[in-house]
Chains A and B, each alone.
Chain A
Amino acid sequence: MAAPENPQQQAATIRHAFGNVLSFLILLLIGVLAFSIRLFSVIKYESVIHEFDPYFNYRVTQFLIKSGVYDFWNWFDDRTWYPLGRVIGGTVYPGLTLTAGTLWRIFNALNIPLTVETVCVFTAPIFSAFAAWATYLLTKEVKGVGAGLTAAALLAMVPSYISRSVAGSYDNEAVAIFALIITFYLYIKTLNTGSLFYATLNAIAYFYMVCSWGGYTFIINLIPMHVLLCIVTGRYSSRLYIAYAPLVVLGTLLAALVPVVGFNAVMTSEHFASFLVFIIIHVVALVYYIKGILTPKMFRVAVTLVVSVGLIVGFAVLAVLIALVASSPTKGWSGRSLSLLDPTYASKYIPIIASVSEHQPPTWPSYFMDLNVLAFLVPAGIIACFMPLSDASSFAVLYIVTSVYFSGVMVRLMLVLAPAACIMSGIALSEAFDVLTRSIKLQLLAATENPQINAGDATKVTPNDAVKTEKSEDSVKERSSRKSKKKEKENVEKASSVSRKEKRLLVLPLEASMIAVFLLVLLGAFYVVHCVWAAAEAYSAPSIVLTTRSNDGGLHVFDDFREAYAWLSHNTEVDDKVASWWDYGYQTTAMANRTVIVDNNTWNNTHIATVGTAMSSPEKAAWEIFNSLDVKYVLVVFGGLVGYPSDDINKFLWMVRIGGGVFPHIKEPDYLRDGQYRIDAQATPTMLNSLMYKLSYYRFVETDGRGFDRVRHTEIGKKHFKLTHFEEVFTTHHWMVRLYKLKSPKNRIRGKTKKSKSKATTTTSSKRIGARKKNPWH
C-alpha cells in the first residue's frame, strides 16, 4: 500500500506545513493584539507613567541607566524615609528595572534613541505579548496546539491582566506574569520530556521570576504541591524526579542570589514546603529503586526496617523544626503571606497591609469584570482536563484551584488567576470546537457519501451505530459515485477508521452543532467587546492625570499633581524635606526630586505612624513632630472642591488607626461621632482641630462662601480659622494639592514658657528620634 500512502502522506505534510504557518501568523497577530490593546492610555492622554509604584521603578531605572549595575546593586537611597534612608539594592526586586535597562541599552545600541521614560512605559505591553506566546506554549504542552492558540488569544485580552500592564503601568507584575507562565511552561515541558536541559532552563526562568516579584512564593509552593499530588495519586515517574529535584536545588541557590530574598530562601516558612517535598520525593525514589532490586519478601523486610528507623529520625527532625518555627511569632511567614493564609490576620495586627485597597477581598462583580466569559468556561475546562488526565493537566487543575482561592483573599491576586483561567478556557473552547466541528464534518461526510440514502439514515451516524456505518460505507464502495476509486478508498478508510474511533467520541446532530459553533463565536465576540471596553474605559486611567467630561461634552483635564510637583521642584531648595501621606512618596521623589519622610514602600510602620500622628494632632503638636524630622513642607491632597474621592480626608481614618497603633494617645473614638468620621458641624473637636482638617480646609470657605465639600457632600464644620504654625505656600488650580510650609519659631518669646504644657507636648515627641526642641511658642 505504498502508492496510496504517498499522496496521503503528502497531503498530511502539506496540511501540517500549512497549519504551522497559520499558527505562526496567528501567534504574531496575537502578539500585536496584546501590545496594541494596552495603548489606550497613551492615545487618550500621553505617554506618561501611571499610579504611584511605577514612579519608584522609573526612578530606580533612571539611576541604573545613569550609574551602571554595580552602583545600582549597592545603592543606598537617602532621599526617602528621612532620616533613615533606604537600602535600595537590598529591598527592591531588580528584575523589572534590569529588564528595562537592558531593553534601553539594546535600543540605543541599535541607534534607536528612545528615552528611558518611553522604554519604561512600553515595557509592559511588550512583555504582555511575550506572556501571550508563553501561554500558547504552556497550553500546547497541556493539551495541544488548538487549545494553545485559543488560550493565547484569551490572555492577550483578559481585562485582569490588562489592568496591571497597560502602557505606563511600569510595575513588577508586567514582567512577573511573563516569568510565571514561562516557568510553568518549562516545568511542564521537563515533566513531559524528562530532559535535564529543560530542567536547567526551568531553574533559570524561576530565577528570573524571583528577581521580578514577591509572588514567586506561589511557584515555589505550587510546584511542590503538584509533585506531592502526583506521588500521592501514583503518578510518580523518574521524569517527575528530574523535573523537581534540580529545580529545588538550583532554584534555592538562585533565589538566594537575589539580595531581597537572600537567606530567606532557606529560612522562611514559605520555602519549607519545597524542602519537605524534596525529601519526600527522594524517599519515594529510593523506595521505587529498592523495590526494583529486591524480591518482594526482602522488600517487605527492608520496608519495615527502614520505616521504623525513618520514623524515629523523622520525629526528631520534625521536633527541631517545629521548635524553630514556633519560636518566631509569625511562625516564620512574612506578614503578607500570612495574610493570604489567614485573611483576618492583617486587619488585626498590621493595619498598613489591611489599608491597601489592593489587599481587600474582591467583590463578585469584579470577577465578572476581570474575567468575563472565562468565569464560566473555566469549569468546562477543568472537566476537559480530566479526560484524559495527564501530569500536565493535573498541574493545570491544581493551578486554577489554588489561584481561585488566593484571588478570593486579595483582589490583587486576580492577576495570578488570569493565566490559569485563560488556559482552562482555552482548553474548554478548543475541546468544544473540536467536538462540534467534528460533528459537522462527519455529518457532512456521511451526507455526501450516501447521496442515495435519505436524511433519516444520515442521522443514524451515532456513536452506537458504527457497524451500520461500516455497512453503508461498504455499499458505497460498490458504487462508483466518486471520481477515482483510489480517493474513494481513502475516504472510506478514513471514514471507517474515524467512525470506528467515533464509537467512543461524541457526534452531535448537524443543525445543533452549527448553531453551537455560531453561538460560541458570538460568545467570543462578546468577550472581545468587553475586553476592549474595559481596557479603554476602566483600566487606562493614569491616576496622575484626571479627566472629566463637562456639560457640553468637552474634556476637562486635572493635572494638579504634576503642577504641584513641578512647583516643588522649582521653588524649593534641593535639600528640603517634604512630609505627606505615604501614597505620594514615590511620586514626590521621582517628579519633584525632594526628600520625603515616608513613601509607598511602607517598610517602617513606626515612621508612618509618626506622620499619621502628626496629621491627626493639633497644630502645635504636629509642628513639634515635623520639626523633629527636619520637615520644611507639608503636602496635602484635597478633593473637596472638585469631588476627587481619594483625597487625604478620606484616608484620614487610616492615619488615625496606624498612628494610634503605635502612639496610644491617638484614640480613634476621639474623632468619631456616632461611629463615623465627620467634618461638618457635628464633628468632634479633636477632628476639627487636627492638622489634616485644618490644612485641607484652610480658606476653603473663600471658594463658594459656604465651604461645601463635594466629596463628603456637606458643609464643613469650622469655616473661618487661621493657621498659627503653618503657612500656605501653594495650592493648585483645582485645589487638589496644597502645600504648606512650617513657620520658623519666633525669635522672641513673649511671656513665661508654660512648663506644664510644654512637658505634655515634649513627652509625645520624646518617643521619636531627633533632638527635642523646647517649645518656643508662648
Chain B
Amino acid sequence: IIDLYIVFAVVTALIQIAYVAVVGSFPFNSFLSGVLSCVGTAVLAVSLRIQVNKENKEFKDLPPERAFADFVLCNLVLHLVIMNFLG
C-alpha cells in the first residue's frame, strides 16, 4: 500500500512539473510548494516503509507504531509549512 502511495505522490509531482512547463510558473511559490509537498510526502512514505519493513535489520527494535507516529508528525510539519507557503 505504501508503494502505491509513493507512486501516486511521484506522479502528482510530475504532473505539476508538466503543468508548469506548459503554463508558466507565475505564482512560483505555489508551484514550489505543490511540487515539494508531493516530493516530501513521497520521501516520508519511503522513510516509513524503510522503518516498517520487517526484513530491515537496522530497525528491528523500532515498534511500527512509533514509526507511524513519527511519520504523522513529520507530515504535519510538512503540510503546515506548505499551507503557509502556498500563499
Contacts and interface: CB of A to CB of B under 8 A. Distances in A.
Interface of A: 194-197, 199-200, 203-204, 237-239, 241-242, 245-246, 249-250, 252-254, 256-257, 263, 266, 285
29 contacts: A194-B51, A194-B58, A196-B47, A197-B70, A197-B73, A199-B70, A199-B74, A200-B70, A200-B73, A237-B58, A238-B50, A238-B51, A241-B47, A241-B50, A242-B50, A245-B43, A245-B47, A246-B44, A249-B36, A249-B39, A249-B78, A250-B40, A253-B32, A253-B33, A253-B78, A253-B81, A256-B85, A257-B84, A263-B28
B77 A241 contact: no
B46 A253 contact: no
A256 B29 contact: yes
B4 interface: no
B71 A253 contact: no
Given A196-B67, A246-B43, A257-B85, A203 B32 contact: no
A199 B48 CA distance: 12
Interface in B23-64: 28-29, 32-33, 36, 39-40, 43-44, 46-48, 50-51, 56, 58-59, 62
B82 interface: yes
Contacts of A242: 47, 50-51
A325 to B, nearest CB: 18
A245 B78 contact: no
Main secondary structure of the interface of A (DSSP, over half): helix
Given A246-B43, A253-B36, A253-B40, A194 B59 contact: yes
A257 B70 contact: no
Contacts of B67: 196
A28 B67 CA distance: 34
B71 A196 contact: yes
B85 A253 contact: yes
B78 A263 contact: no
Chain B CB within 10 Å — which of A197, A203, A241 has the most? Answer: A197
Contacts of A199: 47, 70, 74
B83 to A, nearest CB: 11
Contacts of B70: 195-197, 199-200
Contacts of B51: 194, 196, 238, 242
A237 B56 CA distance: 10
Closest 7 CB pairs of A and B: A196-B70, A249-B40, A238-B50, A245-B43, A197-B70, A200-B74, A242-B47
Given A196-B44, A199-B74, A238 B82 contact: no
B77 A203 contact: yes
Assign chain B's interface to a size class: 20 to 34
A237 B81 CA distance: 28
Contacts of A238: 50-51, 56, 58-59
A250 B77 contact: yes
Contacts of B85: 253, 256-257
A285 B69 CA distance: 23
Chain B CB within 10 Å — which of A197, A249, A250, A254 has the most? Answer: A249
Chain A CB within 10 Å — which of B28, B50, B67, B84 has the most? Answer: B50
A204 B77 CA distance: 9
Contacts of B59: 194, 238
B58 A252 contact: no
B58 A257 contact: no
Contacts of B32: 253, 256, 263, 266
Nearest to A207: B81
A200 B58 contact: no
Contacts of B78: 249-250, 253
A599 B38 CA distance: 43
Chain A CB within 10 Å — which of B28, B29, B44, B85 has the most? Answer: B44
Nearest to A244: B43
Nearest to A242: B47
Nearest to A252: B36
Given A253-B36, A257-B84, 15 more contacts: A195-B66, A196-B70, A197-B73, A238-B51, A238-B56, A238-B58, A241-B47, A242-B51, A245-B47, A253-B78, A254-B81, A256-B29, A256-B32, A257-B81, A263-B32
A201 B50 CA distance: 19
A379 to B, nearest CB: 33
B71 to A, nearest CB: 6
B50 A263 contact: no
Contacts of A245: 43, 46-47
Nearest to A247: B43
A249 B73 contact: no
Contacts of B82: 253
Nearest to A254: B81
A246 B40 contact: yes
Contacts of B39: 249
B81 to A, nearest CB: 5
Contact of A249 (B28, B43, B48): B43
Contacts of A257: 81, 84-85
A200 B29 CA distance: 22
B77 A200 contact: yes
Nearest to B69: A197
A285 B82 CA distance: 26
Nearest to B37: A253
Nearest to B82: A253
A105 to B, nearest CB: 22
Contacts of B33: 253
A285 B53 CA distance: 15
A242 B56 CA distance: 14
A194 B71 CA distance: 12
A113 B3 CA distance: 56
B13 to A, nearest CB: 11
Nearest to B67: A196
